[in-house]
Structure 1
Amino acid sequence: MTALGFLYPGHSAEDEYPRIEQLLGSDIRLDVVHTDIGEDAHRVDALLQMGSAERLAAGVEELRMSGADSVVWACTSGSFVYGWEGAHDQVRTLARTAGLPASSTSFAFVHAAREMGLERVAVGATYPDDVAALFAEFLRAGGVEVVGVRDSGIITAAEVGTWGEAEVFALARAADTPDAQALLLPDTALHTAAHIPALEKELGKPVLTANQVTVWEALRLADRRVNAPGLGALFTREPIVQV
């Protein structure tokens, strides 16, 4: 049994994790611990508080007791808002506190893009434009070219959590560009796990979504690879061999 630990802020789309667990197979367990979201706002000052070391540390002991093999801070905006170096400091502190391999959703997007050999991506963000721009900046710092960013201007994770299939597909269509090799949907408050294969079929390219890449990252840290076509190309393609 491989146990994967996730620190998830508040309550918006945590039901993605039981769904993903079912798609992965019976020998993988996803343990979700909720952290204090504080003020629910896609605003830089609130996001910095949400991702503080104190907020993350509060949930770590429960994950340790569950026997987790790795831990991922399951929040994109609460990690990339710190910038490339600050986000590294965040996960290093989390790893020391947990005594486990650790990462965050922001790094999961970069690592997944690298593994799939993606050089140019488009971003469909639920965030306001200034926060969406910070995610694009983070990706560029990780060596991923961003050829288009579509923001949605939504302030709260609670509102994002109410989006259904129609809104997700509308955002994906609006954000995609012909020169993008993949589309990224970066909010862990967004329900996407049920739609990834259909999104990829419609767009004709890989689609990376926040909770999907978060789980993939936890598996990577635990040195596990799983073939799960229901989770899209990221879970079916062979890794790119760097030479």
Structure 2
Amino acid sequence: MDVSFLGGPQPQRGVGVVAPFDFALDRELWRWVPDDVSLHLTRTPFVPVEVSLDLARLVSEHETLREAVRALIAVSPEAVTYACTSGSFVGGLAGERAMAEAMTQAGDVPACTTSGALLSALRELGAKRVAVITPYTKSVTDALEDYLREAGIQVCGRSYLGLTREIWRVGYRDVVDMAREAVHEAPDALFISCTNLPTYDVIPQLEAELRMPVVSANQVTMWAALRQLGKDAVGPYQALLDPAARRGPASMAPLPPVVDGALPGTALPEPALAEAVEPPQGYQEGFPDPFGDALPDVFPDDER
């Protein structure tokens, strides 16, 4: 059969991604990427160390990052990014900048890191007070708070799981529970740390319930990397990526008045977060409904 009429494949632009050896969420990264952009991933060498500050330092040594970028350059990406939160905040602001510079020099292309992307995203949203949730131990969570404080960001609430391995197995329900625990002091935004923690589907759900922007490590990494190509990340009803989400029912607008003793749009009833959400009163016409039939149930029974 003659298929010459197809004329493809279409040209692709590329982003190189350096990830720690235990990164398990390649598929999640792709969900933020438009169809005409390809991701080229490589991993740092294995080291027999659990998730900790020591591991963060080992996987972010400059020579390790340079070698990874040199490998990626073989496929000519237009930008590279280091997809690791703890590895890019463990050295503070100066350490993060030095990592990005080492990667840029190694590949002669623009480079960014997850923690650098986080600060850019918070500036984009005008967020100066944040709550943070992490799967890390206390010491690693403390280091994240130190990094944000050095950047002039106040951490006004936090929650963490204390994990040292297999973070990718954490379910959405645990993420939601941490978020509810961390936001008691009305922050400007919530940050979900760790590129090995699944977050794509839960972001719009949390924004609707908490009525604040929610950003995650993988989201800001892809958002910043794609901006280096002049491209937009794909993420419906995520405030960082979708202007309508900032103005619509999941926006930061004031909550409606109390009706029959309940505040619409506040804590969602169990058992199913996605099924329980209703558009809040005062919904602005002209903006898409993020809770239509197309939105999947992101909390299946095995994660409750």
TM-score, normalised on structure 1? Answer: 0.89
In structure 1, runs of 5+ residues without a counterpart are 239-243
Deviation (angstroms), 1:83: 1.4
2:13 — aligned with what?
Answer: 2
1:20 aligns with 2:32: yes
Structure 2 partner of 1:167: 174
Query: Where in structure 2 are the equivalents of 1:72-87 lying within 5 Å?
Result: 72-87=81-96
Work out which of the residue numbers 43, 50, 53 in structure 2 matches 1:34.
Answer: 43
**Match for residue 6 of structure 2?**
none
Alignment-mate amino acid for residue 209 of structure 2:
E
Q: Distance in 2 between matches of 1:35 and 1:232?
A: 30
Aligned partners of 2:28 and 2:200 also within 8 Å: yes
CA contact (8 A) 2:156 2:185 kept: no
Quick check: 1:230 aligned with 2:239? Answer: no
Within the candidate set 193, 197, 218, 1:211 is matched to: 218
Q: Deviations over 1:42-70 (max 9, x none)?
A: 32222111111222223213321222111
1:89-238 map, 5 Å: 89-156=98-165, 158=166, 160-226=167-233, 228-230=234-236, 232-237=238-243
* Structure 2: stretches of 5+ with no match in the other structure: 1-11, 245-304
Query: 2:65 pairs with 33, 51, 56, which one?
Result: 56
Using the TM superposition, give the Cα deviation of residue 136 of structure 1 relative to its aligned residue in structure 2, in angstroms.
Answer: 1.1
Secondary structure of the residue aligned to 2:215 is: strand
Greater gyration radius: 2
Structure 1: distance between partners of 2:96 and 2:239: 26
Give the structure with the larger helix fraction: 1
Partner residue in 1 for 2:268: none
Q: Can you list the C-alpha shifts for 1:139-179, whole angstroms capped at 9, x where unaligned?
A: 122222211122221112x2x11012212212222222342
Q: Which amino acid aligns with 2:150?
A: A
Q: Tell me the distance in 1 between the aligned counterparts of 2:63 and 2:237.
A: 32
Contact 1:42-1:77 at 8 Å conserved across structures: no
C-alpha displacement at 1:40, in angstroms?
4.2
Query: CA separation in 2, counterparts of 1:74 and 1:81?
Result: 14
Give yes or no for contact 1:136–1:149 (8 Å, CA) kept in 2.
no
| Structure 1 residue 78 displacement after superposition | 0.7
Residue matched to 1:241: none
- What SS is found at the alignment partner of 1:234? coil
Greater RCO (CA < 8 Å, at least 6 residues apart): 1
Structure 1 vs Structure 2 CA RMSD: 1.8
Shift of 1:135: 0.7
Number of matched pairs: 232
Q: State whether residues 141 and 160 of structure 2, in contact with CA within 8 Å, keep that contact through their aligned partners in structure 1.
A: yes
Q: 1:229 to 1:103 in 2, by over 3 A?
A: closer
Residue 229 of structure 1: how far off its partner (Å): 4.2
- Percent identical residues: 31
